C-alpha cells in the first residue's frame, strides 16, 4: 500500500482530513459524531479541513491526505464535487451503503424511473439519474460498508488509516458473527436472509434484533453466490428474493457475481 506508506512517513505532520457527504441521510456522519469522546480523540490526530455536518464554510484546501465520502452522487454537482475530491485527495475512502452499493435509493433502478418521479413531483424537473455506486465515477481506495456504518469498525479503520496501518476487513460471512454470538438462524427458521454471502463486521447487529440480513455490507471475497442463490430460489419465490436483495442496493453486485461464477462453472454449450 503505497499510499499508506506515504501517510506513515508524514507522521510528523497531522494528516489533512475531509469528511464530505453527497446525497444521503447523513446517518454515517452521525455515527461518527455519536462515537463521542473517542471520535474527538481521533480528530485530535488529524488536521480536519472539512466536516460538512458541523460547518458550512466553503471548501478552501487544495489537498487532503484522506477524504471520507458518504452518500451517493445523485446530482451533477455531487459528481463534480466527487471528482474534485478525488483529484485533491491521496486516499479516498467511501463510507456507508449509499456510497458503496448505491443505498436504498437504488430501488429506483428496478422501477420505471419516470413513474417513480411522478409520484413525488407533479411539475418540477429534478435530476433523476440511475443510481450508481461511487466507484463508477472515481477510483476508490477503501470501503467502509454498512447502512449505517458500525461505530467500532469505523474507529478501528479510521485510526488505522491515520497511523498508516492497512485496515483490512476480515473476509467472513455475517453467519460467522451471527452464530458465534448465539443468535437464532433466520434462514433455518424460513426467512430470506443474505447472511451466508454478506461480509461480516457489523457484529450481525440485525440478527441480534431478529431482522434477517438484507446484504447492506455487500459480498465478502469468495462468497459462493451460485450455491446460495440456488438454495434461495428453490425455497422462496423469485420475486421475494429479489425484493430483499434490492433494498440495500446489493442485487446488482450479487447478480454480477452470479454471472461470473456461472461462466466458470457451466461451460456454454454451442
Question: 109 or 171, CB closer to another protein?
Answer: 109
Give the number of residues in contact with another protein, rule: CB under 8 A: 65
210 makes contact with another protein (CB under 8 A):
yes
Interacting span for another protein (CB under 8 A) from 9-17, 134-142, 163-171, 201-209:
201-209
Question: 124 or 264, CB closer to another protein?
Answer: 124
Lookup: cell for 125:
424537473
Which residues from 87-126 bind another protein, rule CB under 8 A? 103-105, 107-108, 111, 115-124, 126
75 makes contact with another protein (CB under 8 A):
yes
218 makes contact with another protein (CB under 8 A):
no
Among 59, 88, 191, 224, which residue sits at the site for another protein (rule: CB under 8 A)? 191
Which residues from 150-189 bind another protein, rule CB under 8 A? none
Among 19, 162, 244, 254, which residue sits at the site for another protein (rule: CB under 8 A)? 244
Among 185, 205, 255, 258, which residue sits at the site for another protein (rule: CB under 8 A)? 205
58 makes contact with another protein (CB under 8 A):
no
250 and 231 in contact (C-beta within 8 Å)? no
Interacting span for another protein (CB under 8 A) from 43-51, 153-161, 224-232, 249-257:
43-51
36 makes contact with another protein (CB under 8 A):
yes
Interacting span for another protein (CB under 8 A) from 68-76, 156-164, 224-232, 259-267:
68-76
Nearest Cα to 171, choosing from 218, 127, 112, 205? Answer: 218
Convert the chain into a string of H (helix), E (strand) and C (coil): CHHHHHHHHCCCCCCEEEEEECECCCHHHHHHHHCCHHHHHHHHCCEEEEECCCCCCCCCCCCEEEEEEECECCCHHHHHHHHHHHHHEEEEEEECHHHHHCCHHHHHHHCCHHHHHHHHCCCCCCCCCCCCCHHHCCCCCEEECCCCCCHHHHHHHHHHHHHCCCCCCCCCEHHHHHHHCCCCCHHHHCCCCCHHHEECCCCCHHHHCCCCCCCCCCECCCCCHHHHHHHHHHHCCHHHHHHHHHHCCCHHHHHHHHHHHHHHHCCCCC
Give dist(CA 58, CA 60) in Å, integer: 6
Question: 182 or 190, CB closer to another protein?
Answer: 190
Residues that bind another protein (CB under 8 A): 22-31, 33-34, 36-37, 40, 43, 48, 51-57, 72, 74-75, 77-78, 103-105, 107-108, 111, 115-124, 126-128, 147-148, 190-192, 205-206, 208-212, 214, 240, 243-244, 247
Amino acid at each position: 500500500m503505497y499510499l499508506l506508506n506515504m501517510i506513515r512517513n508524514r507522521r510528523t505532520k497531522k494528516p489533512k482530513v475531509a469528511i464530505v457527504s453527497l446525497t444521503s441521510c447523513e446517518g454515517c456522519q452521525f455515527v461518527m459524531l455519536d462515537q463521542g469522546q473517542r471520535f474527538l480523540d481521533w480528530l485530535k490526530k488529524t488536521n480536519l479541513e472539512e466536516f460538512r455536518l458541523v460547518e458550512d464554510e466553503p471548501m478552501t484546501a487544495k489537498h487532503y491526505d484522506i477524504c471520507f465520502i458518504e452518500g451517493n452522487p445523485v446530482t451533477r454537482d455531487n459528481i463534480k464535487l466527487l471528482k474534485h475530491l478525488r483529484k485533491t485527495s491521496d486516499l479516498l475512502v467511501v463510507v456507508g451503503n449509499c456510497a458503496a452499493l448505491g443505498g436504498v435509493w437504488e430501488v429506483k433502478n428496478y422501477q420505471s424511473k419516470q413513474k417513480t418521479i411522478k409520484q413525488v413531483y407533479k411539475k418540477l424537473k429534478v435530476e433523476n439519474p440511475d443510481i450508481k455506486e461511487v466507484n463508477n465515477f472515481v477510483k476508490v481506495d477503501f470501503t467502509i460498508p454498512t447502512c449505517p456504518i458500525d461505530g467500532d469498525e469505523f474507529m478501528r479503520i479510521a485510526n488505522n488509516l491515520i497511523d498508516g496501518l492497512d485496515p483490512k476487513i476480515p473476509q467472513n460471512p455475517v453467519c460467522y458473527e451471527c452464530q458465534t454470538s448465539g443468535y437464532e438462524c433466520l434462514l433455518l427458521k424460513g426467512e430470506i436472509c443474505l447472511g451466508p454471502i454478506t461480509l461480516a463486521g457489523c457484529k450481525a447487529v440485525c440478527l441480534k434484533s431478529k431482522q434477517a440480513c438484507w446484504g447492506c455490507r455487500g459480498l465478502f471475497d469468495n462468497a459462493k453466490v451460485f450455491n446460495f442463490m440456488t438454495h434461495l430460489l428453490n425455497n422462496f419465490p423469485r420475486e421475494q428474493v429479489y425484493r430483499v436483495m434490492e433494498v440495500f442496493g446489493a442485487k446488482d453486485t450479487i447478480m454480477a457475481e452470479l454471472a461470473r461464477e456461472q461462466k466458470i462453472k457451466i461451460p456454454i454449450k454451442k
